Structure 1
């Protein structure tokens, strides 16, 4: 699978059978020029995962792309006149020649005083897991885990414990834009990861096969 990281949680996955873009948000750059998309998938409504004006421009260049999202993002998409499909945890969608399973359901707790919103994790072809903003356990082993690195809801120890619990063949750090020096976190992941897990930090906007 060919993966391009546009910063933070925005990823392009080219499975060979489908081109899928995840979380085109405000902290990501470069995704605006992507074409040939089969679908855009949104994990949740926060602005760093969904920036509707830039998504609208992206869809003009990708008129055949489906937009699939969690229930909490539906209102924002509807307000902008963006046609979309709502997916619930437990659902599966066939997109071109790939299968996307929806896991999770809730965003991680930021603070007890802040309401918990919906969050979809997406498992692509049973091998590549984008958890959004939650530490979602996959139903079985995965080849690649897109690992949240830094967030108001996340401690380093929690990210490491999640990495160890999933124990993927490869971990790709994402959700790093809130950190001034994410390389420090990457070094800790590499040091504390399971022996069988390789850490792969992707160059921005550069396609990499994993």
Structure 2
């Protein structure tokens, strides 16, 4: 599978049978000129995962792409053709299988309302959890896109999540809220404390380039 990281939570997965763009949000760049997409998939409604201003031109450039969203994002895309998915759903997108996992966004603070959050498992091998510690449904995951920095995130909990999933490769995402120094610290801890057998791989960011994982 070819992976391109456009910064923060936005990744393009090219399975060879489908091109899936996940979470084109405000903190991500470089995805705007993509074509040939089979689906644009949104994990949840926050602006760093769904940038409505750049969504419309992306949809115009990809008229055959399915817009797949969680229940909480449906209102934000109500004037666009879209599909609402929920945990437990399984989708066929072109030649790819997408299992919808998760349920709720991680807790930011008790005073901040909870919202839905979809995790997307592609072909049973690559898991994008959105903003939650979404467990893998079975062992042997090939790639986990692991959140590295967020208002809801404690690095020790991320380490525990990474150890519980124990993927073959961990790719950090959701890093835009960290300074360069913060990225170095968080990445260092995740690499140092990753479970045995898990490789930690930071993907090229400038310019975005596809990597096979």
SS in 1 for 2:3: strand
2:115 maps to what in 1? 117
Question: How many residues were matched structurally?
Answer: 208
Name the counterpart of 1:8.
8
Distance in 2 of aligned mates of 1:177 and 1:82: 28
Question: RMSD between aligned alpha carbons?
Answer: 0.5
- SS of 1:32 mapped into structure 2: coil
Q: Match of 1:132?
A: 130
1:1-210 paired onto structure 2 within 5 Å: 1-78=1-78, 81-141=79-139, 142-181=141-180, 182-204=183-205, 205-210=208-213
Point out where structure 2 has 5 or more consecutive residues left out of the alignment.
Answer: none
Runs of 4+ in 1 over 3 A off after TM superposition: none
The TM-score with structure 1 as length reference comes to 0.98
C-alpha distance in 1 between matches for 2:67 and 2:111: 31
What is the alpha-carbon distance in structure 2 between the residues aligned to residue 5 and residue 104 of structure 1? 22
1:15: how far off?
0.3
Q: Deviations over 1:166-195 (max 9, x none)?
A: 000000000000000212211111100011
Larger displacement relative to structure 2 (3-12 or 177-186): 177-186
Q: Helix, strand or coil for the counterpart of 1:121?
A: strand
TM-score by length of 2: 0.97
Give the superposition deviation at 1:53.
1.4
* Unaligned ranges ≥5, structure 1: none
Distance 1:117 1:31 in 2: 26
**What secondary structure sits across from 1:28 in the alignment?**
coil
Task: Map Cα deviations across residues 103-155 of structure 1 (whole Å, 9 max, x no partner).
Answer: 01100000000110000000000000000000010111211000000000000
